[in-house]
């Protein structure tokens, strides 16, 4: 695998913390929600045997600080952040296009990235993007996320967590108490827990309100792999990918675990991801 390097990249309005391991074609892993680069730790070693694996803290999360006050997320800017990282690691816009894996809001970033810059993405594995506006019952989904946001505003973080986890089917994904974790995992958990307020305040609604350009995605259907977790595809965050899959004409590829299967089942998840990347014939 070689040494992991830790780097900083200035982008408009923020400075991104990113980490690079391995060698070979660039594989960008985009974390979702309030998580950061550390959520992929269990997969990086395996993937870095064949790829230059790039992980990062999305703007506003953990070590990727805003330049000024926090602002509501802009999905277009999130996609430009991902592009800036691909260019920084892969030799600029003239470099080879990158493989991209994104989960949850990270998958939404990936969808916007391939829409805006299709020539820079070799393959996108979009794992459960919660762009619920494309669902037949979008009104119900919108009302639910509004309830989560309002609960955060009125009753605080812990109450919002309960509503969010129960309504998204992720109540079984709750982490054990911090004191029960190994020190390195405790540090990661504490870092990500500290992102909760910013997630509810500035990221939840902009991402879940995102409207993917389905026609644009259809034009690059040969480079999109719709993906979901075996244990979570029927729940709210997992359902939109089925609509996208129908539109681009591909079946949904099932991964081990649930919405955060890359963290709960890292070895089989990484094996499955590596197998998918090998199907690239470009």
Q: What is the pLDDT of residue 196?
A: 86
Q: C-alpha angle with apex 22: 182 to 115, nearest 5 degrees?
A: 100
pLDDT score of 180 more than 60 = no
**For the chain, where are the E strands, in sequence order?**
5-11, 14-21, 26-30, 52-56, 65-66, 98-103, 121-127, 224-229, 253-255
220-247: per-residue pLDDT in tens?
A: 999 999 999 999 999 988 999 999 999 9
Q: Which of 11-20, 132-141, 153-162, 191-200 has the lowest mean pLDDT?
A: 191-200
If you average pLDDT over every residue of the chain, what do you get?
Answer: 90
pLDDT score of 5 more than 80 = yes
Q: Which of 105-109, 114-118, 236-240 has the lowest mean pLDDT?
A: 236-240
Beta strand 121-127 pairing with 98-103: parallel
């Amino acid at each position: 695998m070689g040494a992991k390097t830790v780097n900083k990249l200035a982008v408009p309005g923020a400075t991104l913390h990113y980490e690079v391991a391995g060698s070979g074609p660039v594989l960008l892993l985009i974390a979702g929600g309030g998580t950061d680069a550390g959520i992929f730790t269990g997969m990086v070693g395996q993937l870095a045997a064949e790829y230059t694996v790039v992980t990062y803290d999305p703007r506003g999360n953990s070590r990727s600080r805003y330049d000024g006050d926090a602002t509501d997320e802009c999905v277009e800017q999130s996609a430009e952040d991902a592009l800036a990282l691909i260019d920084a690691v892969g030799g600029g816009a003239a470099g080879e296009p990158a493989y991209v894996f994104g989960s949850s809001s990270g998958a939404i970033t990936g969808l916007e990235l391939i829409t805006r810059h299709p020539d820079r993405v070799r393959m996108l594995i979009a794992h459960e993007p919660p762009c619920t506006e494309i669902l037949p019952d979008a009104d119900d989904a919108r009302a639910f996320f509004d309830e989560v946001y309002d609960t955060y505003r009125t009753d605080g973080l812990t109450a919002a967590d309960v509503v969010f986890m129960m309504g998204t089917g992720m109540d079984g994904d709750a982490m054990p108490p911090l004191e029960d974790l190994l020190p390195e995992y405790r540090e990661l958990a504490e870092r990500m827990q500290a992102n909760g307020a910013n997630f509810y305040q500035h990221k939840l609604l902009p991402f879940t309100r995102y409207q993917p350009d389905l026609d644009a995605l259809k034009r690059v259907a040969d480079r999109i792999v719709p993906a979901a977790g075996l244990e979570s595809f029927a729940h709210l965050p997992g359902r939109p990918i089925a609509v996208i899959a129908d539109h681009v004409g591909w079946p949904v590829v099932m991964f081990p675990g649930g919405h955060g299967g890359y963290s709960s089942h890292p070895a089989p998840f990484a094996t499955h991801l590596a197998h998918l990347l090998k199907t690239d014939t470009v």
